[in-house]
Amino acid sequence: MRADETPDSKLKRNFVVAIDGPAGAGKSTIARHLARHFGLLNLETGAMYRAFALKALRLDVPLDDPGALERVAAETEIKLEPGEDENRVLLDGEDVTGQIRNQTVTDAASRVSVFPPIRAAMVKRQQEMGAQGGVVMEGRDIGTVVFPNAEVKIFLDAAPEVRGMRRYDQIGQSGHPSAKPVPPPEEVIRDLRARDERDRNRADSPLRPAPDAFLLDSTNLSLEEAVQAAEDTVEAWLAKQGHTASDR
């Protein structure tokens, strides 16, 4: 602890916010906002599974071969560098931030993430990154496995149709490569349901709320309202510790 620091201010700076939920629930927007608002680092763990999937695809490793994937994982270094808007993702030192959001990598990430050795390697790195606290970490298993003692846990959800339409709008806005037309909404919703199914039903660390998570269903909320509800949850925790927003 620094000389000018009280146990209170240390706690205020070092807490962990775990945000879990399915694709398209608004995790990234909310995590980004909370990180800015409360002065925390924002770490998107999905980007790590995506970077690993990109490597497996590049090496042509079968995505259903846990042994081969584990060997690749043992020789892979993935780093997340928190940035203003999104994390910079380094795969063996190469910046792959712009290459991990397409549908092929998205699907592969969900496939490789079912295997326990892959998860164990990722979880270990995530725990190291968050060991000092002061982070908002988003993913699928943060409140249940990575940081089961996180001070604030939020589980975000929304109806699949709503999440699918949000994802569809995002794809349109982010300028889908012109060679590939934007897929119709039904296809986006179908892909999202398939991924949900895999993420929720895998044997190791399935997507589910921690028993002590605050459940935030944004089906009938605007993204702004969902962001506000998440902010209020963190504020409520801080207030319980004796802090108010004006202390920040």
Cα distances (Å, whole numbers) of residue 74 to 15, 87, 105? 30, 23, 20
Alpha carbon separation from 7 to 15, 18, 101, 131 (Å, rounded): 12, 22, 41, 17
Q: Which CB atom, from 127 or from 241, has the smaller least distance to ligand DC?
A: 127
Which of these segments, 39-47, 128-136, 153-161, 227-235, binds ligand DC (CB under 6 A)? Answer: 39-47
Q: Which of 1, 112, 7 is nearest to 51 (CA)?
A: 112
Contacts of residue 217, defined as CB under 8 A and 6 or more positions apart, other chains included, come to: 156, 157, 158
Shortest distance (Å) from residue 110 CB to ligand DC:
3
Q: Give the range of 74-82, 83-91, 106-114, 170-178 binding ligand DC by CB under 6 A.
A: 106-114
User: Is 42 a residue that touches ligand DC (CB under 6 A)?
Assistant: no
Please, which residue, 118 or 227, has the CB nearer to ligand DC?
A: 118
Q: Identify residues 178-207 at the interface with ligand DC (CB under 6 A).
A: 195, 199
By the rule CB under 6 A, 55 interacts with ligand DC: no
Using rule CB under 6 A, residue 23 touches ligand DC: yes
Q: Is 54 in the site for ligand DC (CB under 6 A)?
A: no
In this structure, are residues 89 and 96 in contact, taking their beta carbons and an 8 Å threshold? yes
Give the C-alpha distances (Å, rounded to integers) separating 170 from 82, 90, 97: 21, 24, 17
Q: Does 50 bind ligand DC (CB under 6 A)?
A: yes
Taking the complex as a whole, the smallest distance from the CB of residue 165 to ligand DC amounts, in Å, to 16
> Measured at the alpha carbon of residue 171, what is the angle toward residues 213 and 53, in degrees to the nearest 5?
70
Number of residues located near ligand DC, criterion CB under 6 A: 14
Cα gap 68→56, rounded to integer Å:
9
Q: Which two tokens stand for residue 19?
A: 């945000």
Under the criterion CB under 6 A, does residue 157 sit at the interface with ligand DC? no
Binding ligand DC (rule: CB under 6 A), the pick from 139, 143, 164, 209 is 139
Give the nearer residue to ligand DC in terms of CB position, either 11 or 171.
Answer: 171
Per CB under 6 A, the list member of 42, 76, 110, 233 interacting with ligand DC is 110
Q: Pick one of 49, 52, 115, 214: the residue that binds ligand DC (CB under 6 A).
A: 49
Where helices occur in 27-138 by DSSP H, the ranges are: 27-38, 46-58, 66-74, 103-112, 116-130
State which residue, 131 or 236, has the beta carbon closest to ligand DC. 131
Among 46, 130, 143, 164, binds ligand DC (CB under 6 A): 46
Which stretches of the chain are assigned E, i.e. beta strand? 16-20, 41-44, 78-81, 88-91, 94-95, 135-139, 152-157, 214-217
Q: Decide if 163 contacts 25 (C-beta within 8 A).
A: yes
Spatial distance between the Cα atoms of 164 and 150, rounded to a whole number of angstroms: 29
Task: Out of 45, 97, 144, 218, point to the residue binding ligand DC (CB under 6 A).
Answer: 45
Query: What does the binding site for ligand DC look like in residue numbers (CB under 6 A)?
Result: 23, 45-47, 49-50, 109-110, 113, 139-141, 195, 199
